[in-house]
Amino acid sequence: MKKKIILILAMTALLVSCGTSLPPRYSIRSWRGSNHVKGRVKLREITVDRTGGTASLEEEARGLVFMYLLKEGYSPAGEDDDEDYLVDMILREREYIAGWKTRRSLAADLCFWPGSLSVPSPSAAVMPVSASRVVCIGEASLSSSKVLGKIIRLAVRRGIKALEKNR
């Protein structure tokens, strides 16, 4: 009798654990947008510099930058709205050999430009209002959504911290 009960409990636990649609290692993050808007931003360009397909990485990075900007209180400007800042981000991934191992160097550069910037691309005469750079060295890749999210989050936080310090 005890064996049947244990078997039934084990089968139930197995069915319940297999019924989830998420893989065993996952993370979910959510937050509410701030009621206080610190500024309006327009995301001008996201560039991914790495070998292989980059189109999906650019789209994912664009979405992540917007989410982290919203989290920090900066809302996206519409097509007809005036923006306070223009945002550019460049993501780079390089491979190099260290001893017998292949390592990767990941970098994220984020620039906040003045919203009144009239030229299509920033020139050497116009300085960004704020800039940040995050570098990660190891075996991680930008192809990992977890790594991509972390590096973008750090770049956005540091850029906004410098932006608010320079106000």
Q: Sketch the domain layout of the chain as residue ranges.
A: 37-165
Of 57, 66, 36, 60, the closest CA to residue 156 belongs to 66
* Six-digit token string for 26: 């996952």
Q: How far apart are CA 54 and CA 137, in angstroms?
A: 20
Confidence of residue 19 (pLDDT cuts 50, 70, 90): very low
pLDDT of residue 22: 38
Please give the C-alpha separations between residue 24 and each of 20, 51, 98, 147, in angstroms, as whole numbers. 9, 30, 32, 18
List residues bridging with 57 in a β-sheet: none
pLDDT of residue 15: 47
Mean confidence (pLDDT) of the chain: 75
Model confidence pLDDT, tens digit, residues 32-89: 545 566 777 877 777 777 666 656 788 888 889 989 998 888 888 877 778 888 888 9
User: Which fold does the domain 37-165 belong to in CATH?
Assistant: Rossmann fold (3.40.50)
Q: Is pLDDT above 50 for 18?
A: no
